[in-house]
Amino acid sequence: MRRTAWLGIATVAACAAGDRKDAVDGTDTDAPESDADTDTDTDTDCDAALAIGTGLSGFAPLSDGDTVRVVYGPQGGWHVDTAGSVSGLGEGVLVRGTLTDLRIDEPIAGLDETDATGVPLTEYDGCTGTFAGVRAVIDDYLPPEGTLFEYICGLDGAPLRLDLAVVTLATAPPLTAEAAASAEVVGLLDSYFATEFCSD
């Protein structure tokens, strides 16, 4: 009986010593696996998304009420430089930009549904990257009255809506947008064009 009692005490002491060792070195072989060891990490999800912007060499985000510059290009046409921040569509995208004159509710740039530009994304981190310098060109638009030059001069201060649509680079046009965004903006004429062609 005395031998049995000592054996029980020795067993309890050994267990207690093992618990102290576990507390010191963190190796508890009897502990169940934690949820962190078995759960799948869901923080790496990357959904398709687009933030609209403008810029020739870098992405500058646009909000409603911001101005966009209507540029007089070297070939004698006019355009707006669009930019964007894209997520979830890979390292390159096809971009289509359209510009609508809200005074008459008519699109004036990006009139051809197949008019899309393929671009690689810069600063791509495996989910998100940016593009810039994709032109929404005012080329095929016929104004309801007057000449195109007169109409362009009237875009200074005009309410416009810029729409962008993007798809993965492997997609063939016409485009069904995988991500899209828009902003209601204000036209700002290229200073050279305004001075040379629009002054009275």
Q: Enumerate domains of the chain plus CATH numbers.
A: 49-197 (2.60.40)
Residue 80: the pLDDT is 96
Q: Is the pLDDT of residue 199 over 80?
A: no
More confident call, 26 vs 90: 90
Whether the per-residue pLDDT at 98 is higher than 50: the answer is yes
pLDDT 10s digits, 153-196: 999 999 999 999 999 987 666 667 799 999 999 999 999 899 99
Model confidence at 45, pLDDT cuts 50, 70, 90, reads: confident
Contact 152, 69 (CB under 8 A): no
Tell me the sheet residues that pair with 61. 53
pTM above 0.95, yes or no: no
Rounded to an integer, what distance in angstroms lies between the CA atom of residue 83 and that of residue 121? 11
